Amino acid sequence: MEKQPITVDIVIPTYKRPKLLCRAIESAVEQTYPYILQIIVTDDACDIETKQIVESYMNKDSRICYVCNTRYKHGPAGNKDNGMDFVKSDYFLILDDDDSLVPDAVERLVSIASQGNFDFVLANCRDSNGNYTGKHCGKSELVHYEDFLCGKFEGEYLWLYPSKAIPKLKFDDALYGGEAISIWEAIKGSKVFYLHLPLRKYTTQGVRVSSDYLSKSHLWFPIYLRTLDKFGDDLATYCPRRLLYFTLLLFSYGKLSGQIKQVTKYPIKYLKKTKNFAFILPYFVVPVPKAILLQMWKGLRAMRAKRKQRNRIK
């Protein structure tokens, strides 16, 4: 019996960026893969100008559809969830409205998924400076849940998701971001392959949700709280140093957002589990004035960003 071709949908979440959106839509339309059933533009603003622009593309390509997010809380996570509700294909990918795909991106991802019978396939992205946006080992390879958990792979990637995983992948719309939480849950126990090619052009101009850490501590605090609640035990088993780093971040964002009292039990819990006395370090964050703490984290973030950039240039 002849094998049926794998079908793919492309979800493009957008919010009041009609000019940038055009490039994203055009890159989806120009894909070489012939079995793309839908290009779903999900609008978090229900913006008239955006709708008119999308409708102009709909008149030229019947695969394009426009949906307004009225089901979920407004924000990046809720808007992506809205787009997932309309997925009908075997696989789907999410393309931000200020990014674009290389012409054969979908074709390459599907080829890997089909040949290796992989549940998830991810590829790298390249930013406007020519650097890779996702951490990598310089090669295509089979990857595992703990590789993401422990930071072997982190950053921005282009994911090909199986539609059957949508119930696990649905992002928490109460969190302003934090999609990695759902992705980690979904890939646990799944076959995942990393393709070492930059298949998505990633925009680095302006402030993005994924990079605006310090000025939105009240938004990042619940993300790290949820991360430790869901993955703390696995982090303690596979990579306690990473767990310590996340705990320090949790305390820092808790301090900056005035929510530190909620998390004072976590270091003791992890100290007992790992027998590592370094877990007393988060308590030293408590008396540090917010202004000094903010400057400390800005410096550490800058150092970490430079190190990541060196690792991703190749």
**Could you report the per-residue pLDDT of 242-258, keeping only the tens digit for each?**
999 999 999 999 999 99
One domain, residues 189 and 219:
no
Structure tokens at 154: 């982190």
Taking only the tens place, the pLDDT of each residue in 124-183 is 999 999 999 999 999 999 999 999 999 999 999 999 999 999 999 999 999 988 899 999
Instruction: Classify 106 in phi/psi space as left (phi over 0), alpha (psi -120 to 50) or beta.
Output: alpha
Does residue 307 have a pLDDT over 80? Answer: no
Please write down the long-range contacts of 277-280, taking CB distance under 8 Å and 24 or more positions apart: 278/244, 279/244, 279/247
H or E stretch covering 91:
strand 91-94
Structure tokens at 304: 């970490």
How much is the pLDDT for 122? 99
How much is the pLDDT for 180? 95
Greater pLDDT, 208 or 158: 158
Distance, in Å, from the CA atom of 117 to the CA atom of 119, rounded to the nearest integer, reads 7
Last residue of a domain, one of 157, 181, 202: 202
- Domain of residue 154 covers 8-202
How much is the pLDDT for 182? 97
How much is the pLDDT for 176? 84
Taking only the tens place, the pLDDT of each residue in 61-102 is 999 999 999 999 999 999 999 999 999 999 999 999 999 999
**pTM, whole model, 2 decimals?**
0.91
Let me know if residue 209 belongs to a domain: no
One domain, residues 198 and 227:
no
Average pLDDT over residues 259-280: 96
Distance, in Å, from the CA atom of 237 to the CA atom of 208, rounded to the nearest integer, reads 32
Average pLDDT over residues 185-194: 98
Let me know if residue 187 belongs to a domain: yes
Let me know if residue 208 belongs to a domain: no
Average pLDDT, the chain: 93
How much is the pLDDT for 55? 98
How much is the pLDDT for 211? 46
How much is the pLDDT for 314? 52
For residue 214, count CB atoms less than 10 angstroms from its CB and return exposed for 0-12, middle for 13-18, buried for 19 or more: middle
How much is the pLDDT for 54? 98
Distance, in Å, from the CA atom of 265 to the CA atom of 288, rounded to the nearest integer, reads 18
Q: What is the CATH number of the domain that holds 58?
A: 3.90.550.10
Structure tokens at 143: 């990857």
What backbone phi and psi angles, to 5 degrees, belong to 286?
Answer: -55, -50
One domain, residues 123 and 56:
yes
